[in-house]
Amino acid sequence: MMTPTKLCRFGSHRVLEPTGSLPQAAWRLDAMPVAHENEILCDVEALCIDSASFAQLRAACGDDLRAIEERILEIVQERGKMHNPVTGSGGMFVGMVREVGTALRGHLPLRGGDRIASLVSLTLTPLRIEEILGIDVRTARVRVRGTAILFESAAWAALPSDLDDGVALAVFDVAGAPAQVARLCESGQTVVVIGADGKSGMLACVQAKQQVGSEGRVVGVVPDARSRGARLLKEAAIVDALVEADARDALLLHRRVEAVAAGLADLVVNCVNVAGTEPGSILCAREGGRIYFFSMATSFTAAALCAEGLGKDVTMIVGNGYAPNHAQVALETLRLRPAVLQYFHEVYARS
């Protein structure tokens, strides 16, 4: 492959269509497995497909594993990245560094053979899949043989030596959630976490409880209070109250949250993987409160118009998956509660 004349630290030199755009916004990337001087070439071992994307793929493929596999291959072949055209979301990968580009050598604490997890979305990561080796439906993890390119601007993390890869991958995938919650919560506040028994939801609850302290209140919303994750939240006192509700049923959710948090939430954290939960999230926030939409199934239009229609003066925050040191904060959050660490091991460790 010819080396592009101008290499961009954000990777725009890899964009094939439409030229001139950034990789995330692009339709198609060049995924040629060659490390240009400002790139890192990795051998990919596994993809952690974003939860909203995986839920969509499962629904569209009628839960047929072979059909999901074919759809993933088709998307990557067509776009040069795992960028689900329906949900617009990606995920991240874990793999081994094959080559660090010449301009980066000696400037990064990274060498060929290091095992890392990407901390940037698969929606902007040039990716080639040679073979899918297996799909774990429970964890949305896809074992592959393939290659990926990380740009100069990309974030990545070395895999911790004292943690199972699958657990690290699960935590890194949603690292932005606990890191943002740590910044958004204050002592004594009431925080409602919707989708509390999922990966990001559970870490958000742990971090929220840490921040609001004994004077504050954390309410977890789950679709089924009998689920293992939901029971853990209650039994390990990670939440002060558990609410069972389908978050798409806004009025029911509002009623049930108000019953346990009369003044409603200072902060609502939305961690679900389904569409249609914007109205419920907005109703759970107090006047002047904040809503952090971490969910990739969030519609900006629905959120903005619903808040306007309800006459609700709330601040809504787009779920930026990045915050400084987010991987570190997420790992520390996991380790705050041995029961949660054990649960993550039982659910997400590599089988």
- Where does this chain bind ligand NAP (CB under 6 A)? 50-52, 89, 173-174, 176, 194-195, 197-201, 221, 223-224, 227, 246-248, 271-274, 294-297, 319, 321
Q: Which is nearer to ligand NAP, 199 or 217 (CB)?
A: 199
C-beta of 91: minimal distance to ligand NAP in Å?
Answer: 8
Long-range interactions of 229-236: CB distance < 8 A, separation 24+: 229/196, 229/197, 229/198, 229/202, 229/343, 229/347, 230/196, 230/197, 232/197, 232/202, 232/339, 232/340, 232/343, 233/196, 233/197, 233/202, 233/205, 235/339, 236/337, 236/339, 236/340
Smallest distance, Å, CB 112 to ligand NAP?
A: 28
Cβ 253 to ligand NAP, closest distance in Å? 8
Q: How far is the CB of 280 from ligand NAP (least distance, A)?
A: 8
Name the residue nearer to ligand NAP (CB basis): 43 or 246. 246
In whole angstroms, give the CA distance from residue 219 to residue 240. 6
Please name the residue that has the structure tokens 């081994």: 96
CB of 173 or CB of 266, closer to ligand NAP: 173
The residue (of 42 and 48) whose beta carbon lies closer to ligand NAP is 48
Q: Is 6 exposed, middle or buried (0-12, 13-18, 19+ CB in 10 A)?
A: exposed
Q: Which residue is nearest to ligand NAP (CB)?
A: 198
Exposure b/e, 43-82, CB count within 10 A at least 16 = b: bbbbbbbbbbbbbbbbeebeeeeeebbebbbebbeebbbb
Nearer to ligand NAP, 100 or 330 (CB): 330
For ligand NAP, the closer of residues 33 and 90 by Cβ is: 90
Torsions phi, psi for 258 (to 5 deg):
-65, -30
Q: How far is the CB of 198 from ligand NAP (least distance, A)?
A: 2
Residues shown for the chain: 351
Q: Which is nearer to ligand NAP, 129 or 247 (CB)?
A: 247
Q: Is residue 91 within 8 Å of residue 173, measured between CB atoms?
A: yes
Would you say 56 or 210 has its CB closer to ligand NAP? Answer: 56
Closest approach of Cβ 160 to ligand NAP, in Å? 19
Please answer whether residues 194 and 221 qualify as being in contact, where contact means their C-beta atoms are separated by less than 8 angstroms: yes
Which strands form 217-222's sheet, in the order they lie side by side? Answer: 241-244, 217-222, 190-194, 265-270, 285-293, 315-318
Min CB(24)–ligand NAP separation in Å: 12
Asked whether the bond before 324 is cis by omega within 30 degrees of 0, the reply is: no
Residue 174, SS3 per DSSP: coil
Closest distance of CB 323 from ligand NAP, Å = 10
d(CA 48, CA 172): 10
Q: Which is nearer to ligand NAP, 227 or 299 (CB)?
A: 227
Q: In angstroms, what is the minimal distance from the CB of 14 to ligand NAP?
A: 21
